[in-house]
Chain A
Amino acid sequence: QLQLQESGPGLVKPSETLSLTCTVSGGSISSSRNYWGWIRQPPGKGLEWIGSMYYSGSTYYNPSLKSRVTISVDTSKNQFSLKLSSVTAADTAVFYCASLYSGNSLDYWGQGTLVTVSS
């Protein structure tokens, strides 16, 4: 069974770049079965899809965030990463990484990590 774990700084300053890593265990990130994705949830609010990537490196981003988001993969470490640039307080959220079944259903989730944007 797949397990995912997010890691990264819990506090980021405004205008800087938020960087998170998701470590996958229990399976290979290079499996053709899976897409991998990032989702965020501001405190007390709903879920928002940030973007997804296929193991080959093809990426797909939420149009509202596309200019600030980069998702990449490190197959040697079985990890994939999220970078969100030029952050503001509105980017404060719990960030989740997840695997996507057939590119459309989020079947395994990490526990989530809270990132606060504040000076």
Chain B
Amino acid sequence: GIQVEQSPPDLILQEGANSTLRCNFSDSVNNLQWFHQNPWGQLINLFYIPSGTKQNGRLSATTVATERYSLLYISSSQTTDSGVYFCAVTGNTPLVFGKGTRLSVIA
């Protein structure tokens, strides 16, 4: 099945800093989503981005499907950005999640 690798596994940022999270996947995909699991455990959909670039406020994402990777950019990070960021992909299988990047933003 599809393998999804996320890096880095852990990231600590000072409030106001920028960061880039990476997601590599092993096969062609029809769907790629980025999620944020907040400290309360809720899984929030950030982007549906099988290809191209999208922006939503301080967050943006780029997927290069031909090279099998996606990037999530967080600019001017805030403490409320803390949590785990998951990348999930699907080809002909149900959505497969990576292990996540745990982000801690400190004031």
Partners in one complex: no
Which residues in B have some Cβ–Cβ distance to A below 8 Å?
Answer: none
Chain A positions near chain B (C-beta within 8 angstroms): none
